[in-house]
Amino acid sequence: MQKIRIGVLSTARIGVQKVIPAMQKGEHTEVVAIASRSLDKARDMARHLGIPRWHGSYEALLADADVDAVYNPLPNDQHVPWSIRALEAGKHVLCEKPIGLSAAQGRQLVEAARRHPRLKVMEALMYRHHPQWRTAKELVQTGQIGALRAIRVFFSFYKDDPGNIRYDSARGGGVLMDIGCYATSLSRWLFNAEPQRVFGLLVNDPRFGVDCLVSAMLDFGVGHATFTCSMQVAPFQQVHLAGVAGHIELSEAPFNPPDDRPCVVSLQRGGEVRRLELDVCNQYTIQGDRFAEAILHETPVPIPLEDAVRNMEVIEALVASGCSGGWVRPGGR
């Protein structure tokens, strides 16, 4: 079985706790190197995770001839700069969300990717690869709930640590960038359209000036998506899809589903409720394999980079709406 050799930029928590262990189980992914600004830290983490090589700088990892592709879980402000450097070093790139600090920065990455057409670049929106979401998408597309009219999302966790990077405004902190991006992405994906206008209410933490509570509405013309996200509310996740003929609900951690037991998608139609049980899986493993398959087969990645830019346009519009108190058209549309 042919595998893509992955090198990881940094020992970020999402990487070492979630993504790396998952990709080590992939059919088409093999994690062969990890880098840190500290050689000792890179070595210790490599030994802990069973990674064969480590580097004391990101530059050294990009120069590693045995690395085919780079996974970039660096802070948000480093997503685009290091992804571009990886492309220039001849590496494919799987970059954590959000793609950058702004849509303009995302477009810089798009332009860089166009200069290297044989290399693949993809934003790591892991939820889209999970069978529960593929099932929900298929139910919507095949009219199982009739025409989609409303999406409601709630996503929260509690983390009040001033040292956490989510509270660093200069590095792209704030809850909208951290988990609100899932709600905007999900809504655009399910409606298969871009919102005509958006309205956002943002509460900023007075200590650090980053948004810690966001509620929003996205107007798609044929329907609406509403969501609330917070990093200062007790942990909770729920997604509800409402159509003219039925409802779909994902209530057990829709964005961070368990990987040790089946997930369930509930379909309600005509007074009947069906519980669709999905196979046990790891969405990060599937994400890595889908990315690797695009490289191996020279096919488009599952999530085009342009999609990441459009998602940033919606996020920016929500921030602008929060400042102005009115509706805003994403991307000037």
Q: Which residues are catalytic?
A: 97
Residue 215's alpha-carbon distances to 26, 199, 204, 219, 252, in angstroms, are 37, 9, 12, 14, 21
Neighbours of 140 (CB within 10 A): 21
Residue 323's Cβ-count burial label (10 Å; 0-12, 13-18, 19+) is exposed
Residue with tokens 């200062």: 232
What tokens appear for 332 in the block? 């000037």
Backbone angles phi, psi at 132, to 5 degrees: -65, -35
Give 82-89's long-range contacts (Cβ < 8 A, gap of 24+): 82/9, 82/58, 83/109, 83/112, 83/121, 84/108, 84/109, 84/112, 85/58, 86/9, 86/62, 87/112, 87/113, 87/115, 87/116, 87/119, 87/121, 88/112, 88/116, 89/62, 89/63
Backbone angles phi, psi at 158, to 5 degrees: -115, 120
Q: Taking a C-beta distance cutoff of 8 angstroms, is the pair 95, 123 a contact?
A: yes
Give 72-104 as a DSSP string. E---GGGHHHHHHHHHHTT-EEEEESS-SSSHH
CA dihedral sign of residues 159, 160, 162, 163: negative
